[in-house]
Chain A
Amino acid sequence: MTAPPDDCLARNEWICGEYLSTRRHILLDAVGQHLQLTAISVLIGLAVALPLAVVARRWGWAAGPVLAVTTILYTIPSLAMFSLLLPVYGLSATLVVAGLVLYSLTLLVRNILAGLRAVPEETRQAARGMGYGPIRLLLTVELPLALPAAMAGLRIATVSAVSLVTVGAIVGFGGLGNLIYAGMNTYFKAQVLTASVLCVVIAIVADLLLLLVQRLITPWTRAVRG
Chain B
Amino acid sequence: MRRHTVVAVLLLAATGCSTGPSLENKGAVTAPPGDSHHLTIGSAGFTESDLLAQMYALLLKQAGYKTSLLTVANRELYEPALESGQIDVVPEYAATFADWLNAKTNGPDAPAVGSPDLTTTMKALRRLATPRGLTVLDPGKAVDQNAFAVARSYAQEHHLKTLSDLGASGLKVRLAAGDECVQRPYCEPGLKKTYGIDITAVDPKGVGTTQAKSAVRSGQDQMVLTTTTDATLDEFGLVLLADDKHLQNADYVVPVVNRSRAGSPGVTKALGKLNDVLTTADLASMNQQVDSWRRLAQDVARTYLKDKGLLK
Which A residues lie at the B interface, using CB under 8 A? Answer: 1, 4-5, 9-10, 12, 19, 22-23, 26, 86, 89-94, 169-172, 178, 181-182, 185-186, 188, 190-191
Contacts and interface: CB of A to CB of B under 8 A. Distances in A.
Q: Size band of the B side of the interface?
A: 20 to 34
Contacts of A4: 292-293
B212 interface: no
- Most chain A beta-carbon contacts within 10 A, residue among B77, B78, B231, B288: B77
B288 A90 contact: no
B5 A172 contact: no
A186 B47 contact: yes
Contacts of B290: 186
B54 interface: no
Given A22-B296, A185-B46, A86 B73 contact: no
Given A91-B87, A186-B47, 20 more contacts: A4-B293, A5-B293, A10-B292, A10-B293, A22-B296, A89-B1, A89-B2, A90-B5, A90-B8, A90-B81, A90-B84, A91-B70, A92-B5, A94-B1, A94-B2, A169-B73, A171-B77, A182-B71, A185-B45, A191-B294
Interface in B247-300: 285, 288, 290-296
13 contacts: A1-B234, A9-B294, A10-B292, A90-B86, A91-B86, A92-B86, A171-B77, A178-B71, A181-B73, A182-B45, A186-B47, A186-B290, A190-B294
B72 interface: yes
A86 B86 CA distance: 12
Nearest to B235: A4
Interface of B: 1-2, 4-5, 8, 45-47, 50, 70-73, 77-78, 81, 84, 86-87, 231, 234, 285, 288, 290-296
Describe A's contact surface by its main secondary structure.
Answer: helix
Nearest to B285: A1
A170 B294 contact: no
Contacts of A26: 296
A12 B72 contact: no
Nearest to B78: A91
Contacts of A169: 71, 73
A12 to B, nearest CB: 7
A9 B295 contact: yes
A89 B2 CA distance: 7
A23 B294 CA distance: 11
Nearest to A181: B45
